[in-house]
Structure 1
C-alpha cells in the first residue's frame, strides 16, 4: 500500500515558522522472481514461473499554514505497475508500492487532503523539521493534535521509524505495519476520517475513525461513517533500556462493515455443494484485532523493532492483506557505522498465520482477496528480507533488496519463493 512517511535521514531542519512548502518524491521498484516449485496452482496462486514486476509512483505535497497551529496539505499522486500474478498468492506481498489498482497505465489521483490542528499545552517546546506532509515549526511538548480529511491511517498509527515505508525501508507488506492490522483504506491505501492525539513528554494516546471501502478491497469508500467504519486506538510510551531510547506501542482496532464470515461460506457450500463463496453470505459484521510493537536503539547507529498482532480471523480480509496472526522483527543499521552516513542496511523476519475458519475456507477451494490455490496443505508463511540503501546524492537513494518466502500463500506444497529487487527513490 502507498504511504509517505519518510525516514529520519531524509529530514532536515528548516525555518521554524514555515508558512508554505512544496515537497515531492518518486520511487521506482523493479523485482525479479525466479521459478520455484509449484505442483499445482489455483485462480489466486503466485505463479511458479519466472516473472518480473515493477512499480512507479510520484507524489507532490503542497502544504500551507492557515493560522496558528493549523496546516493543510494536498497530495497529488500518480502510479503505475505490474505485480506478480495479479497481486495474488501471498499474505506478505513483496512490494508495498503496488496498490490493488495497479496496472500498466499511469493513474493520476488525489492521495491526501487533510487539515492538522495543534493546540499547545506547555511543558517546553520542540522543533518539528520540514518533511513530506509536515511544515517546519515549533510545538509544545504537551499538545493535542487533530488530523482530519483524506489521508492514510498509517500516517498516524503504528509509526515504527525503521519499518513503515516501502519507499525507503523494507518492501514486504508484512513489515509495513502489523500484518493482522486490517486498517481502513481504499484499494490505493487511503481513506477519509479523523484522528485525535494527546501527546505528552514521553507518552501519547491517539484514536481515530475512518471510512471503509464499500466492498472488500475496493476503491469506492462507504461514506456512512455512523454505520460502516474502522476505529483504532493506540497508546505509545517512550522508555530507556540500558541508557538507550525505545518506544512501546499498543494498538486495538474494530472494523464494522458488510463482510462475509468464513464459517458461513463453508456451511453454505456443505449444503448446496461446490466450493465455498464469500459473496452470497455477506452480512453486517464486526472484526477486531490487537497489536503490540516496540522499537529499541541498540547503539548509536542501530535500531531493532518487533511487532506481534492478532485479528479474530472470522470474517474476510476487508482492506489490507490476508494475515490473521503475525510476528515480525528486525534490525536497521545506519551507514554511519561504517563511514557512510545516509546509507542504511536492514534485516527482518516475519511469521504469518491464518485463523482456523480462514484455513478451512481455503482448503475447500474458496477464493480470498489474495489467496486461493484450489487446495491447501497449510503451513505458516515465513518471510526473510534483507536490503541495503545507498545514498550517492543528497536526494537520491538506490537500494538492493532480497526476499525469501517459505510456504507462500500458507501452502507447504509450494515454494520457497525468492524475489530480488532494485529500488530508486528521489525527493525534492
Structure 2
C-alpha cells in the first residue's frame, strides 16, 4: 500500500483517590476512549500509537481501567514528603516501607517504569517505548488486568514482585480468573543514584507467564503433518513464556536526560498481550525547554531496534500469521524505529505536540517500507 492512511485516538481520564484510613488508599480512574488504527493495527511489530491499544472503535467507549487499593506500612528511616499527582495522594512516607497494591490496574503502573518514555500522551508514542518491547505483560485488549504487587523500599533500593491474570485468548478482552493455573509473574530490582547531583536509576526485570498459548515449533510440526500453513491456533495448550529487561536512565543536566533499555523474550510462543517483539534495544534523549527559555516545552529523540526469535522468524517465513504481522513469507531484517517529538505549551496545562516516526523494515520484512508516520497531539491536564 502506497497511498497515505489516517488514524486517530481520543482519550480522557479522571483520577479519583480517597484515603480510607492512615496508610490505606482507594483509587478509581474512569476513562473514555475512541479511535481508528492505521491498517487495522496490522503490519508493524511495534504499532505507532500507544493509545490505540485501548481503542474498540470510532464510537466513544466509557470503561473503568483502574480500581485498586494501596496500603503502605511505614517501617522507618527518614520521612519524605510526597506531592499529589495521578494515583498518588499527598502525604509523608518513610524511606523504608512496604507497599501492597491490589485490584485492577496496568502491570506497567508498577513495573518497568521510565521517567522519559512511558506515557504516549506526553512522551514517545511507539508501543515499544511504553515498556521493554518483549515484555509480554498480561493484560486485556485495553492493557489492564486484575492482580497485586508487593514493593519493598529502603532508601535508594527497591524490590517488587507481582502476579496478575491474563486474557483467555491472545490479545482478548475477557480475562482468565484461574490465577492459580494461568498468570503473569514478575520481579524487579531497582536502584536510584546520583551522578554529579543528577538523578539516575537502574532497573532489572524478570517475568514469566503461564497461559494457553501456541508454540511456533508445534504449529510448524502440525502443518508439516496435516498440510496447510502453520497456525498457532491449532496447537494452543498451557505453555510458559519468560523474559527479562534491563533499563538505565540518567539525568545529564537539569534539562537533559537519557535512557537505554534492552529486553529479551524466549520467543517460543505466540504474542499474547503486548506487541510482536522478542528482542529490543532502545536509546533515547529527553529535553526540557528551559534550555531555550521555554520551560513548559518538552522534546525527545528515540532509536529502537526490534527483533524476532529464530522460531518466530521460521514460523512467519513458512506463511504463519501473528496477531499483528505476517506477509506469507519473510525476508527478515530487524525492525527499526526512529521517533522524535516536540510538545509546545500553548497555555497553562495545555500542549500541542508534533511527532514523527520513521520505520525501516516494517514487520521485520526488508521487502516492505520504509514508512513515515506524522502525528499531531493535543494534551490537557486539569
Question: What TM-score bracket applies, with the shorter chain setting the length?
Answer: over 0.9
The counterpart of 2:144, out of the listed 176, 190, 193, is: 190
Shift of residue 243 of structure 1?
A: 4.2
1:12-58 deviation line (CA, Å, top 9, x unaligned): xxxxxxxxxxxxxxxxxxxxxxxxxxxxxxxxxxx443100000011
Q: How does 1:12-23 map to 2 (within 5 A)?
A: none
TM-score (structure 2 length as normaliser): 0.98
Is 1:104 the equivalent of 2:58? yes
CA distance in structure 2 between the aligned counterparts of 1:393 and 1:140, rounded to whole angstroms: 36
Q: How does 1:57-72 map to 2 (within 5 A)?
A: 57-72=11-26
In the alignment, is the contact (CA less than 8 A) between 2:35 and 2:55 conserved in 1?
A: no
Shift of residue 242 of structure 1?
A: 4.3
Check 1:65–1:100 CA distance in 2 against 1; reply closer, same or farther (3 A cut): closer
Shift of residue 101 of structure 1?
A: 4.4
In the alignment, is the contact (CA less than 8 A) between 2:16 and 2:29 conserved in 1?
A: yes
Tell me the residue number matched to 1:163: 117
Is 1:426 the equivalent of 2:380? yes
In the alignment, is the contact (CA less than 8 A) between 1:87 and 1:100 conserved in 2?
A: no
Post-superposition, which runs of at least 4 consecutive aligned residues in structure 1 deviate over 3 A? none
Shift of residue 100 of structure 1?
A: 5.8
The counterpart of 1:244, out of the listed 178, 194, 198, is: 198
TM-score (structure 1 length as normaliser): 0.88
Q: How does 1:11-410 map to 2 (within 5 A)?
A: 47-99=1-53, 101-410=55-364
CA distance in structure 1 between the aligned counterparts of 2:56 and 2:41, rounded to whole angstroms: 9
Shift of residue 245 of structure 1?
A: 2.2
CA distance in structure 1 between the aligned counterparts of 2:349 and 2:65, rounded to whole angstroms: 22
Shift of residue 128 of structure 1?
A: 1.4
1:50-72 deviation line (CA, Å, top 9, x unaligned): 10000001111211000001110
Shift of residue 127 of structure 1?
A: 1.6
Tell me the residue number matched to 1:43: none
1:286-340 deviation line (CA, Å, top 9, x unaligned): 0000000000111111110010010000000110010000000110011111111
CA distance in structure 2 between the aligned counterparts of 1:368 and 1:129, rounded to whole angstroms: 43
Would you say how many aligned residue pairs link Structure 1 and Structure 2?
382
Consecutive unaligned residues of structure 1, counting only runs of 5 or more, are: 1-46
CA distance in structure 1 between the aligned counterparts of 2:37 and 2:227, rounded to whole angstroms: 34
